[in-house]
Chains A and B, each alone.
Chain A
Amino acid sequence: MIDLAGVAAQFTELMLAILLAPLLTGWVNQCRAWLQNRSAPGLLQPYRTLNKLFQKEVVLAHGASPLFRIAPYLIFGSLALAAAIVPTLDIDLPLNAAADAIALVGLLALARLFVSLAGMDIGTAFGSLGARREMMVGFLAEPALLMVLFTASLISGSTSLSTIVHTLAHKEFVIYPSMAFAGVAFTMVSLAENARIPIDNPATHLELTMIHEAMVLEYSGRHLAMIEWAASLKLFVYSCMGLALFFPFGIAESGDWLGIVLALPALLLKLAVGGAALALIEMLSAKMRIFRAPEFLGSAFLFAVLAMLVHVLLES
């Protein structure tokens, strides 16, 4: 028996994530430009860039293996699947029965693995340098992210994101002090994972300090378009994950069609505020040396552990 409403909701949510992701990136760029007193690019600039890249010819390096050509699609695919798991509009998602928060972290890790492999594939200095740094950031950020998700799981008694959102949003409203710690840890992790300013600068090209850009330097044409789209999608997934964990209010219950209609403007509003906050954080902080990154992410992990401890002390 296929739950048609669930499949429809799942499909809507996936399409929404894929289509809205560049818009979020455009919004963050716009906010950043405003804060830096520059005239901002249009809100739809990422779509124009994607369109341009899709029409361009692909230039492949000599010695590029098939992996180099497949990787953009694999990265995009795993991030799209990750986007499908995170509840954005309502919690009735059939995929959530198959994949919980741990699988979500796994999907994000899969995407990272292929970005790094593709970076090393050509054998340029920048590519392998970026890949190594990405792996370093990744292996430090992942346990912190897992701990944040585990804190939410301890509260709701389940690792399924739907159940977590259901507990946090639709049961009686309770203030969870542990979520304050988890929120700090999550913010730090998502800054690092999305190549944002304290760790990496998304606006940089050809700098010795770059991480994400260094790995995708050799890509062009539709491959680059897929990678850029996937990067926007990753930002979108992290934003929605943050919203689902810390501001789940407005996400509809299953079968509540009016709630779904109301959830869309709520989601857009929350994303707009979150994107502006991200731009503000980026403006206020300076980029760290790469050797400070372990310290930064180590603190994130400690905060996530503290969140669990505080949960045990105050909420049990």
Chain B
Amino acid sequence: MLTHYGPQLVNLFAAVLLLLAFAMLSQRRMLSLINLFAAQGFVLFLTTSLVAALTGQHHLYWSALLTLALKVILLPWILHRLIRKLNIKWDVETLINIPTTMLVGIVLVVLAFNLALPISQLAGTVTRSTLGIALASVLLSFLMMITRSKAIPQVIGFLAMENGLFFAATGAVYGMPMVVELGVALDVLVGALILGIFIFQIRERFDSLDTRHLERLKEL
């Protein structure tokens, strides 16, 4: 039963991951953006545990639990607290309008799928066809970082990119070694904390979270 439907379920979860990446790209509200990020983390947790169950790789259970603790509970909590403190719940300003962003997103997906096809044929894992989707979600998160002008969506884009990378590692080679995974997880956590402090500093300095202010290096 599991061996039959398992790979299909992994594919389904991969599709949902891509769907959530697109939803984040089209989202205008900060709160929904954070909730979508948490949902993406949860799907990632499900996928990783499923792959662990399918392949019997026990270290994947640990990384799934790590994902659950970090990306579903801790980081969204930090982000929620951050936007409550900064009192910004609504507006997400974009540099390009959202339909254009979505169109660029589609082009990126086509590109990623094309790139991943020859690579995934070399891989021998049951999850090899999801590599294209992982690559696509990395690129989409990248696009989100580029097209948003405020700091918090950029941070969320960065964290979502890590989700995509993690998924790529799981899909292509059944996850990275535990040491690397722990290192990356810790990096992301510390990164989010530092960026949180950084955001406060930007706001104190410029009275706004628009990162375009940072392009001007001279004092006014």
Say which residue of A305, A310, A312 sits within 8 Å of B18 (CB atoms): A310
Contacts known (A175-B9, A295-B98, A305-B106); A310 close to B22, Cβ less than 8 A: no
Task: Provide the residues of chain A in CB contact with B18, threshold 8 Å.
Answer: 306, 310
A6 at the B interface (CB under 8 A): no
Is there an interface contact between B129 and A314, defined as CB atoms closer than 8 Å? yes
Chain A residues within 8 Å of B5, by CB = 175
Contact: A175 with B8, CB < 8 Å? yes
The contact of A298 among B12, B22, B102, by CB within 8 Å, is: B102
A174, A181, A298: which contacts B8 (Cβ < 8 A)?
A174
Check A314–B22 contact: CB distance below 8 A: no
> Measured between alpha carbons, how far is A237 from B63 in the docked complex, in Å?
46
Closest to B129 in A: A314
Contact string against A for B residues 105-122, beta-carbon threshold 8 Å, 1 for contact and 0 otherwise: 110011001001100000
Residue of B9, B15, B116, B132 with highest tally of chain A CB at under 10 A: B15
* Shortest Cβ distance from residue B85 to the other chain A in the assembled complex, whole angstroms: 26
Asked if B113 and A180 make an inter-chain contact with CB atoms under 8 angstroms apart, the answer reads no
Look across to chain A and name the residue whose beta carbon is closest to the beta carbon of B98: A295
Contact with A along B36-55 (1 / 0, CB 8 A): 00000000000000000000
**Main SS class of interface, A:** helix
Chain B residues within an 8 Å CB radius of A178: 15
Q: Which of B99, B106, B109, B133 contacts A295 (CB 8 A)?
A: B99
Judged by a CB distance under 8 angstroms, whether A43 is at the interface is no
Does B26 interact with chain A (Cβ within 8 Å)?
Answer: yes
Check A109 for interface membership: any CB of B closer than 8 A: no
Closest to B112 in A: A313
Contacts of A302 in B (CB 8 A): 22, 102-103, 105-106
Residues of A within 8 A of B110 (CB): 309
Which applies to chain B's interface (DSSP): helix, strand, loop or mixed?
helix
- How many chain A residues touch the partner (CB < 8 A)? 21
Q: Given the complex of chains A and B, what is the CA–CA distance between A305 and B19 in angstroms?
A: 12
Q: How far is the CB of B122 from chain A (nearest CB, A)?
A: 16
**Residue of A at shortest CB range from B14?**
A177
What is the 8 Å Cβ interface bit string for chain B, positions 52-74, against chain A (1 contact, 0 not)? 00000000000000000000000
Chain A residue nearest to B26 in the complex (CB):
A299
Across the interface, which residues of A come within 8 angstroms of B12, CB to CB? 175, 177, 180
B11 contacts A by Cβ under 8 Å: yes
Find out whether the CB atom of A313 lies under 8 angstroms from the CB atom of B106: no
* 17 CB < 8 A contacts A-B: A177-B11, A181-B15, A184-B19, A294-B99, A299-B26, A299-B102, A302-B105, A305-B106, A306-B19, A306-B22, A306-B109, A310-B15, A313-B129, A313-B132, A314-B14, A314-B15, A314-B129
20 other contacts beyond A299-B22, A306-B106, A314-B14, with CB at 8 A cut-off? Answer: A174-B8, A175-B5, A177-B8, A177-B12, A177-B14, A177-B15, A180-B15, A180-B16, A180-B19, A181-B15, A181-B19, A298-B102, A299-B99, A310-B15, A310-B18, A313-B113, A313-B117, A313-B133, A314-B11, A314-B133
